[in-house]
Structure 1
């Protein structure tokens, strides 16, 4: 039995909570993970996990073993990482999760630059508006826009953005231009579904004296994807309030025009997060550093 492979499988089972999820994150058959854990228990002559048809729980001996194995695997990763970094060659797969809009509009268009710098690193990018369980799903790092609810994760702020209220020039000519946020109530609008609540988000504003206004609107169209949302604005279906980084190109091209600019929207933080009990390997570190630099170059996302 490969002891290191078995230890890694054991850690993944504990963190994922099931053999099936652990097998998925390791990209091996479920039977392989079962065989590795059984071999580990036989070799150690101790039960590490309690198994039922529905769940897996850790025995007291397993919990103690887990804490030590995590540190040992981190030390081994440190050794490998230091060696590879000394050669300037981070290698391997990095599993990343990002919001759909940031993934498709910011990260993917710039990935050619990352591969030029790190040709031996493979990026597996999951783009979704759902909240991924980073530990259970074996994700190396996740990019989050807005509030971070995972309190136990290591979190690093990498960017900020605001929302821009806009529509197409043709629509603006045909519709009375609202002078205040309240006047949007009598205008056709398009709503964006919140991944957290499953409902259309309010339009949010804040003027120069700090007054905040949240406007709940009756939309003529509601979508759950930022690309479709921006397309609806460009198509003249109504007023939209979209992330600044998502509409920057359309504003420059003139296919969208902004309004209510004196009413700013609150800053939305973008963070990268990862599990605290996992060593930040060279491949993950260079991806995070590259992402930070990418956001810093982006006029609608940089922190300063």
Structure 2
């Protein structure tokens, strides 16, 4: 039996709470994971897991073993990672998740540079607004916007952005431009669904140097759940939008959208890269995170501070 593979399988089963989920994250058949755990228990002569048809729980002996094995695997990974980084050849598959707009507008266009620097790293990029369980689903790291509420997760801030209120020139030519946020109820507006609440995000404003925020709940003409389609609706002249600055910056520079209400700023939204604290950072994950930090720092719409 490959003891390291068995230890890794055991750790994944404990963290995922399921043999099936652990097998999926390891890209192994369920039967192989089961066989590895059984072999480990036979060698150790102790039961590590309680199994029922509905759940898998760790035994007291298994919990103690898990804590020591996690540290051991982390030390082994650190040795391999340091050696690999020294050789300058990180390799393997990195599972990353990112919001649709950030993935499409920021990460994907820049991946060519990443691959030139690290040709042996394969990025498995999940783009969407679903917030998955990083540990249970075997995701190496996730880039997420907004405040982080998850416990037992490491969050490293890599950037920030604001929302920009804007509209297509044709819409403004026909109806003029609002002068204050209170004017917005006289224009058609478009709502963006929050992935967290399932409701349209309010248009938010801070006037001048004030620290208080005003939220406007508007009767939107159209409501969308994806930032990319949201910006597309604004470009089509269907209504006024309040979109992430990085998603509309180019269109504003090109004159396809016009920024509105410049005297009222929106609150700052943080962007973090997340990963599990007891998941060792291999060389391939480290270089991706470091690259993402530099990528966000180089973008005027996303850099912190």
Q: Normalising to structure 1: TM-score of the pair?
A: 0.98
Cα distance in 1 for partners of 2:218, 2:48 equals 54
- What residue number does 2:221 align with? 220
Cα distance in 2 for partners of 1:237, 1:280 equals 45
Any stretches of 5+ residues in structure 1 without a counterpart? none
Cα distance in 2 for partners of 1:53, 1:128 equals 32
Name the count of aligned residue pairs.
304
SS in 1 for 2:264: coil
Cα distance in 1 for partners of 2:145, 2:43 equals 45
1:89-120 CA-to-partner distances (Å, cap 9, x unmatched) read 11111111111111111000000000000011
- What residue number does 1:39 align with? 39
Cα distance in 2 for partners of 1:147, 1:167 equals 27
- What residue number does 1:171 align with? 171
Cα distance in 2 for partners of 1:47, 1:182 equals 66
1:130 Cα deviation after fit: 1.4
Cα distance in 1 for partners of 2:40, 2:120 equals 32
- What residue number does 1:201 align with? 201
In the TM superposition, structure 1's runs of 4+ consecutive aligned residues that sit over 6 Å from their partners are: none
- What residue number does 1:88 align with? 88
Cα distance in 2 for partners of 1:279, 1:28 equals 20
1:129 Cα deviation after fit: 0.6
Q: Which moved more, 1:82-91 or 1:156-165?
A: 82-91
Cα distance in 2 for partners of 1:182, 1:21 equals 50
1:151 Cα deviation after fit: 2.6
RMSD: 0.9
Cα distance in 2 for partners of 1:14, 1:297 equals 39
Cα distance in 1 for partners of 2:24, 2:281 equals 21
Alignment of 1:125-274 (within 5 A): 125-210=125-210, 211-274=212-275
Q: Which moved more, 1:211-220 or 1:157-166?
A: 211-220
SS in 2 for 1:158: strand
Cα distance in 2 for partners of 1:244, 1:76 equals 42
1:128 Cα deviation after fit: 1.4
1:82 Cα deviation after fit: 1.5
